[in-house]
């Protein structure tokens, strides 16, 4: 298993449950990448992809605003340009609905599996199924959400439209002046760093090995098979190799002569001690694209999407935008103490559908990557699917929409 983030560990867990022997190779520590600092929301409500009508034009208008919710760095970058052109070509009803239906299926399956996993394996990760509330302060922006509501209805995902006064009654942490809201009652949330730590614990308890500090440096081949993985901690061999390296996947895949159509989408968060007046459920402050999640152990502002390639700097302009956005909506937008300022790369596939399944190039390679902003939400079903495909069993999900073969991989 290459990668010890939420996807890699979920794959390891379900492979172990199926009777496989598993060794996870992680370049840092388990869950140290984008699994660590996200808002921890479990969101079937995010089934419709970003690539909806109007998204591309909005991104172009925001390109020169470094604090925009969706920011594309104008610096020349051929790989990013190629990805953006592929993304733009899919801005049509056929590709939109193909992606939406695939995402809805894996999100629904994963949500059900996660709820059972947390209960049956007693994962201490502050899981709760409280829903998610989108909040609007602009009446026109609220009215424009009808297409989103229609898409969710078509996909069979529960959604409730709320008047401004109903939203204020649901959520006293909000300042007056709410125009309306959209409640997603079937969404859930958890503390993502604790969830990944608990998955790592269960992988070890089930007999799996996790090699930390094992950076992938290359491969040895035998015909159409990967004979060994070369790492900073030595060579490792196995009957099968699962590539679950998140945003690092395209870089490692080049050594396998695979060109994954992915870009890193940078997200940010700030974690605080809990303020006195915290939201009762996760919020999305819609006009500012700020996500707010509270747990008993802390409080987090997060979100935003930045396409700047593999830029490894923390952009304080974007952290400040999170703070300003929260201050517009909440009585107490920040906690008394900042515990962490964070950024992470999300693995964004060009069609916004994860790339999961056997490679057409290497007979013993499976891919499990490209989950975008929904890695935590999709992890359990991804792990189940990988375990079924590795074992030659019939999967619960139709594997075709996620297959690497759609990109010739």
CA 318/CA 236 separation, integer angstroms: 40
The predicted model gives 12-34 an average pLDDT of: 94
Number of H helices, E strands in the chain: 11, 19
* Weakest-pLDDT range from 10-24, 58-72, 170-184, 373-387: 58-72
Please check the confidence at residue 259 and state whether its pLDDT lies above 70: yes
How many C-beta neighbours within 10 Å does residue 244 have?
Answer: 31
Tell me if 143 is assigned to some domain.
yes
Tell me if 1 is assigned to some domain.
no
Instruction: Determine contact, residues 407/249, Cβ cutoff 8 Å.
Output: no
CA geometry: angle 189, 191, 192, nearest 5 deg? 100
The predicted model gives 240-248 an average pLDDT of: 97
Tell me if 313 is assigned to some domain.
yes
Which pLDDT does position 34 carry in this prediction? 81
Pairing of the two strands 180-184 and 132-136: antiparallel
Tell me if 85 is assigned to some domain.
yes
Question: Structurally, how many domains does the chain consist of?
Answer: 1
Please check the confidence at residue 179 and state whether its pLDDT lies above 70: yes
Give the DSSP letter of residue 371: B
Instruction: Quote the mean pLDDT of the chain.
Output: 94
Instruction: Determine contact, residues 281/312, Cβ cutoff 8 Å.
Output: no
Query: Dihedral (C-alpha) 343, 347, 348, 354: value to the nearest 10 degrees?
Result: -140
Please check the confidence at residue 54 and state whether its pLDDT lies above 70: no
Instruction: Determine contact, residues 399/406, Cβ cutoff 8 Å.
Output: no
Please check the confidence at residue 118 and state whether its pLDDT lies above 70: yes
Which pLDDT does position 173 carry in this prediction? 97
The predicted model gives 399-403 an average pLDDT of: 98
pLDDT above 70 coverage of the chain, percent = 97
Which of 234, 245, 197, 268 is closest to 366 using CA atoms?
A: 245
Which pLDDT does position 58 carry in this prediction? 61
CA geometry: angle 287, 293, 298, nearest 5 deg? 140
Which pLDDT does position 169 carry in this prediction? 96
Which pLDDT does position 399 carry in this prediction? 98
Farthest-apart Cα atoms in the chain, separation: 66
pTM of the full predicted structure? Answer: 0.95
Element (H, E) at 265: strand 262-272
Tell me if 153 is assigned to some domain.
yes
Please check the confidence at residue 84 and state whether its pLDDT lies above 90: no
Which pLDDT does position 387 carry in this prediction? 98
The larger pLDDT score, comparing residue 261 to residue 64, is at 261
The predicted model gives 30-52 an average pLDDT of: 89
Please check the confidence at residue 264 and state whether its pLDDT lies above 80: yes
Which pLDDT does position 60 carry in this prediction? 61
Confidence of residue 72 (pLDDT cuts 50, 70, 90): confident
Which pLDDT does position 303 carry in this prediction? 87
Please check the confidence at residue 221 and state whether its pLDDT lies above 80: yes
pLDDT in tens, 2-19: 999 999 999 999 999 999
Which pLDDT does position 32 carry in this prediction? 81
Both tokens of residue 42?
């479990």
Q: What is the CATH number of the domain that holds 214?
A: 3.50.50.60
Question: Strand, coil or helix: what is 64?
Answer: coil
Confidence of residue 91 (pLDDT cuts 50, 70, 90): confident
Please check the confidence at residue 29 and state whether its pLDDT lies above 80: yes
Tell me if 345 is assigned to some domain.
yes
Tell me if 54 is assigned to some domain.
yes
Both tokens of residue 246?
């998140």
Which pLDDT does position 51 carry in this prediction? 78
Range of the domain at 308: 6-407
Both tokens of residue 71?
């920011």
Which pLDDT does position 279 carry in this prediction? 96
pLDDT in tens, 305-327: 888 899 998 889 999 999 999 99
* Weakest-pLDDT range from 40-54, 211-225, 269-283, 321-335: 40-54
Contacts 24+ apart (CB under 8 A), 384-388: 384/14, 384/109, 384/113, 385/106, 385/356, 385/357, 386/11, 386/14, 386/15, 386/242, 386/356, 387/11, 387/14, 387/15, 387/17, 387/18, 387/20, 388/18
pLDDT in tens, 341-396: 999 999 999 999 999 999 999 999 999 999 999 999 999 999 999 999 999 999 99
Pairing of the two strands 209-212 and 23-26: parallel
Both tokens of residue 388?
């079924």
Tell me if 100 is assigned to some domain.
yes
Question: Strand, coil or helix: what is 239?
Answer: coil
């Amino acid at each position: 298993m290459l990668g010890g983030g939420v996807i890699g560990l979920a794959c390891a867990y379900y492979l172990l449950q199926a009777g496989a022997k598993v060794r996870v190779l992680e370049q840092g520590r388990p869950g140290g990448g984008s699994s660590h600092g996200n808002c921890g929301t479990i969101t079937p409500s995010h089934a419709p992809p970003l690539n909806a009508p109007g998204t591309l034009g909005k991104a172009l208008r925001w390109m020169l605003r470094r604090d925009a919710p969706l920011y594309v760095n104008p610096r020349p970058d051929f790989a990013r340009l190629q990805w953006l052109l592929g993304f733009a070509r899919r801005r049509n009803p056929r590709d939109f609905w193909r992606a939406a239906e695939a995402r809805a299926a894996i999100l629904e399956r994963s949500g059900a599996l996660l709820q059972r996993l947390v209960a049956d394996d007693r994962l201490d990760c502050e899981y709760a199924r409280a829903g998610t509330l989108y909040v609007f302060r602009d009446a026109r922006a609220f009215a424009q959400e009808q297409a989103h509501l229609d898409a969710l209805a078509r996909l069979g995902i529960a959604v409730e439209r709320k008047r401004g006064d109903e939203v204020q009654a649901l959520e006293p942490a909000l300042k007056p002046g709410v125009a309306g809201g959209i409640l997603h009652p079937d969404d859930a949330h958890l503390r993502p760093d604790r969830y990944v730590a608990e998955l790592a614990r269960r992988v070890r308890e089930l007999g799996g090995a996790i090699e930390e500090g094992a950076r992938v440096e290359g491969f040895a081949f035998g015909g159409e098979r990967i004979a060994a993985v070369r790492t900073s901690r030595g060579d490792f061999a196995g009957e099968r190799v699962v590539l679950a390296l998140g945003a690092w996947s395209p870089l490692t895949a080049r050594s396998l002569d695979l060109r994954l159509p992915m870009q890193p989408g940078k997200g940010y968060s700030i974690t605080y001690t809990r303020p006195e007046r915290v939201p009762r459920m996760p919020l999305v402050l819609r006009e500012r694209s700020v996500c707010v999640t509270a747990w008993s152990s802390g409080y987090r502002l997060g979100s935003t999407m930045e396409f700047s390639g593999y830029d490894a700097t923390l952009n304080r302009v974007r952290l400040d935008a999170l703070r300003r956005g929260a201050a517009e909506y909440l009585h107490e937008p920040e906690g008394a103490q900042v515990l962490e300022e964070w950024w992470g790369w999300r693995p964004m596939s060009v069609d916004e559908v994860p790339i999961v399944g056997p490679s057409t190039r290497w007979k013993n390679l499976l891919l499990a990557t490209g989950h975008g902003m929904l890695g935590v939400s999709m992890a359990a079903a991804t792990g189940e699917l990988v375990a079924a495909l590795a074992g030659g069993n019939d999967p619960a999900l139709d594997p075709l929409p996620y297959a690497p073969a759609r990109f010739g991989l």
